[in-house]
């Protein structure tokens, strides 16, 4: 195979192949050609066939996504140089194969927290390219948190004018005397940027799921519009430290109306938004309890507890989204008292027990447990590692993960849409650190998410050569390169800061009806 080969077939399917193999500069012909793409309507949307023989390459797919994935597989049959932006000149030989392939899970995701540390648009687009070659199909953008509001609002412009930046960021670690870098940090995406990101993702068979996290994690929002808090006269600031803040939105009707407008802006920018994540996690309800207006409103709705009001509030937002053709996604704290819409997707981060409860209750679930899918945790407790939020989640931990546990019933397993890795960014300040944390653990997650079975990691050495050619600054399995190490400065390793297994043991014992939550303490 060489650059400039000819491809023929159905228009949308050919477009998927050309996008996946853009570096080969494929020419479209009316018939014949080196690569022929056939419409196979009996196949599932992400399913494909790939035949390579003396007569050339034949791809079969029902939808553009299937053709796109077939081309990604074809690229994997080429030398690693096929992953360079400008491959070297020459002719490549493709081995003869017959492949029939389809993913086991429909949600194969990566979560980027752009609220704690902002990630410029160019880096989001770059991560989409890396996701695409792994056949990951869902980008979860965490756009809102105490430390920043990252999306333009034309209806409420103070959200991005005030909420998108902070004057400094905490630089000390847990248990240390607080210290700050005194460096301003900020940024946001315009609605046009979000539309561009979504279109770029769709071309690569990826769905963007934006998260507007409510009612907690609200410091940045309330810094801009304090009138939507339980105490409208209170002054708020965009948070410059990590951890769970008591800042929370009021659940009263004006707040619902406000959020309806904001969610509408985000949904419109995305075009057809199949999912919007509305958070629901780590809510401290003290300010609700202290408000006579809010507790009176709770009683007027016939709700027994503030926890019920929390569930009612999220249900109201999910109803609004459903009227627009969008399904709500929530973290697992929002599940527990039966108030969720049945079509709401639950993302359990506290472990398999609550994931199974949600699935048994008839909710679709996306597996997102701290262990082993929080990739902001370090891969070892070695003093050579750069500072992470905790330790340790290894490649083998990810490789052994059961996306749909065999111990569950068939009905419960059928409710598992898939899994996604979380990249919370308290300790991920830039794109180089993101590469280090995300890959190749993300590569292994992609493999088990697609196959539905654990990985033996046999194909990893060859895949790392592709990442090298692509320019991904991943963490080598043997440990960090000299320039990736923590050193002795601000990003030095603090072994034992947070033990991920101890965290999981504690989370598994938390009740679903707890009114305060913390992932980091």
Query: Which pLDDT score, from 0 to 100, does residue 516 have?
Result: 44
Q: Is 217 a catalytic residue?
A: yes
Question: Residue 254 is encoded by which pair of tokens?
Answer: 């004006």
Q: Write down the mean pLDDT value for the chain.
A: 93
Q: Which CATH number fits domain 107-453+480-509: 1.20.140.10, 3.40.50.2300, 3.20.20.80, 3.40.50.1110?
A: 3.20.20.80
Instruction: Please check the confidence at residue 27 and state whether its pLDDT lies above 90.
Output: no
Of the residues 152, 282, 332, 376, which is catalytic?
A: 282
* pLDDT for residue 388: 93
User: Is residue 514's pLDDT more than 50?
Assistant: no
Note the pLDDT of residue 70.
98
Please write the tens of the pLDDT for every residue from 354-411: 999 999 999 999 999 999 999 999 999 899 999 999 889 999 999 999 999 999 999 9
User: Torsion-angle region of residue 300: left (phi > 0), alpha (psi -120 to 50) or beta?
Assistant: alpha
Say whether pLDDT at 46 is over 80.
yes
Spatial distance between the Cα atoms of 173 and 427, rounded to a whole number of angstroms: 10
Active site residue 100: no
Specify the CATH number for 6-101; select among 3.20.20.70, 3.40.50.300, 3.40.50.620, 3.30.379.10. 3.30.379.10
Taking CB atoms within 8 Å and a gap of at least 24, the contacts of 499-505 are 499/390, 499/391, 500/370, 500/371, 500/372, 500/374, 500/377, 500/390, 500/391, 500/392, 500/393, 501/371, 503/370, 503/371, 503/390, 504/351, 504/369, 504/370, 504/371
The answer to whether residues 150 and 425 touch, using CB atoms and an 8 Å cutoff, is no
Q: Where are the domains of the chain?
A: 6-101, 107-453+480-509
Out of 145, 281, 332, 379, pick the active-site residue. 145
**Helices and strands (H and E) in the chain: how many:** 18, 18
Decide: helix, strand or coil at residue 189. strand
Give the least confident one: 1-10, 245-254, 286-295, 488-497.
1-10
Residue 426 is among the residues annotated as catalytic for this protein = no
Tell me which DSSP letter residue 186 carries.
E
pLDDT range class, residue 342, cuts 50, 70, 90: very high
Q: What is the dihedral of CA 423, 426, 430, 435, to 10 degrees?
A: -30
pLDDT reported for residue 64: 98
At residue 478, the pLDDT reads 96
CA pair distance 74, 68, nearest whole angstrom: 10
Span between the terminal Cα atoms of the chain, in Å: 54
| CA nearest to 106, candidates 336, 416, 402, 397 | 416
For the cut 90, the answer to whether the pLDDT of residue 162 exceeds it is: yes
Strand 345-347, strand 165-166: pairing? unpaired
DSSP, res 518: -
Looking at residue 513, its pLDDT comes to: 44
The string of pLDDT tens digits covering residues 318-334 is 999 999 999 999 999 99
**Could you report the per-residue pLDDT of 98-125, keeping only the tens digit for each?**
999 999 999 999 999 999 999 999 999 9
What pLDDT shows up at residue 226? 98
Q: Give the pLDDT score at 225.
A: 98
What angle do helix axes 460-470 and 441-451 make, rounded to 10 degrees?
A: 120
Which of 30-39, 143-152, 248-257, 270-279 has the lowest average pLDDT?
30-39
Tally the C-alpha atoms within 13 A of residue 421's C-alpha that lie toward its C-beta: 30
**Cα(50)–Cα(68) distance, rounded to whole angstroms?**
11
pLDDT band with cut points at 50, 70 and 90 for residue 285 = very high
* Averaged pLDDT, 417-435: 97
pLDDT at 174 over 90: no
**Tokens 């847990």 sit at which residue?**
174
pTM of the model: 0.95
- Helical pair 11-20 and 64-76, crossing angle rounded to 10 deg: 30
Tell me 151's DSSP state.
B
The answer to whether the CB of 408 falls within 8 A of the CB of 356 is yes
| Of 112, 44, 46, 85, residue with least CA distance to 437 | 112
Helix (H, G, I), strand (E, B) or coil at 456: coil
Token reading at 98: 């017959």
The residue from 134, 160, 217, 236 that is catalytic is: 217
Predicted pLDDT of residue 399:
98
What's the confidence (pLDDT) of residue 30? 74
């Amino acid at each position: 195979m060489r650059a400039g080969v000819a491809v023929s077939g159905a228009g949308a399917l050919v477009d998927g192949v050309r996008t996946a193999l853009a570096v080969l500069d494929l020419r479209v012909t009316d018939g014949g050609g080196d690569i022929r793409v056939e419409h196979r309507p009996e196949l599932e949307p992400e399913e494909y066939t790939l035949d390579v023989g003396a007569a050339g390459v034949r791809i079969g797919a029902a939808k553009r996504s299937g053709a796109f994935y077939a081309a990604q597989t074809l690229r994997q049959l080429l030398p690693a140089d096929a992953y360079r932006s400008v491959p070297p000149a020459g002719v490549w030989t493709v081995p003869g194969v017959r492949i029939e392939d389809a993913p086991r899970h429909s949600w194969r995701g990566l979560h980027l927290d752009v609220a704690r540390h902002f990630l410029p648009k160019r880096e989001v687009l770059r991560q989409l390219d890396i996701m695409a070659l792994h056949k990951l199909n869902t980008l979860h953008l965490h756009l809102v948190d105490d430390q920043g509001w990252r999306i333009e609002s034309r209806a409420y412009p103070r959200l991005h004018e005030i909420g998108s930046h902070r004057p400094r960021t905490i630089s000390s670690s847990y248990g240390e005397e607080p210290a700050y870098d005194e460096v301003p940090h900020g940024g946001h995406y315009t609605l046009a940027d979000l539309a561009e990101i979504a279109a770029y993702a769709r071309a690569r068979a990826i769905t963007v799921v934006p998260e507007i996290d409510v009612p907690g994690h609200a410091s940045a929002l309330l810094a801009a519009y304090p009138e939507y808090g339980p105490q409208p006269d209170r002054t708020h600031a965009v948070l410059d430290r990590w951890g769970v803040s008591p800042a929370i939105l009021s659940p009263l009707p004006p707040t619902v109306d406000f959020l309806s407008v904001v969610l509408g802006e985000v949904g419109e920018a995305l075009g057809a938004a199949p999912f919007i994540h509305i958070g629901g996690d780590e809510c401290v309800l003290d300010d609700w309890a202290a408000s006579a207006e809010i507790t009176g409103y709770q009683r007027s709705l016939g709700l027994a507890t503030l926890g019920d009001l929390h569930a009612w509030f999220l249900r109201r937002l999910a109803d609004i989204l459903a009227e627009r053709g969008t399904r709500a996604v929530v973290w697992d704290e929002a599940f527990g008292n039966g108030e969720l819409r049945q079509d709401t997707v639950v993302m359990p981060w506290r472990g398999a027990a609550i994931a199974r409860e949600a699935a048994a209750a008839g909710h679709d679930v996306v597996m997102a447990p701290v262990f082993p899918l929080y990739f902001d945790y370090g891969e070892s407790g070695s003093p050579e590692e750069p500072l992470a939020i905790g330790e340790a989640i290894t490649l083998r931990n990810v490789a052994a993960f059961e996306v749909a546990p065999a111990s569950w019933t068939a009905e419960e397993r059928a409710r598992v849409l898939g899994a996604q890795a979380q990249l919370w960014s308290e300790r991920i300040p830039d794109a180089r650190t993101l590469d280090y944390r995300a890959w190749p653990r993300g590569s292994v997650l992609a493999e088990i998410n697609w196959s539905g079975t654990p990985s033996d990691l046999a194909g990893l050495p060859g895949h790392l050569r592709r990442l090298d050619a692509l320019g991904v600054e991943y963490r080598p399995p043997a440990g960090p390169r000299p320039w990736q190490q923590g050193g002795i400065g601000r990003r030095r390793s603090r072994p034992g800061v947070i033990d991920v297994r101890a965290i999981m043991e504690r989370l598994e014992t938390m009740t679903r009806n707890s009114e305060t939550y913390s992932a980091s303490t």
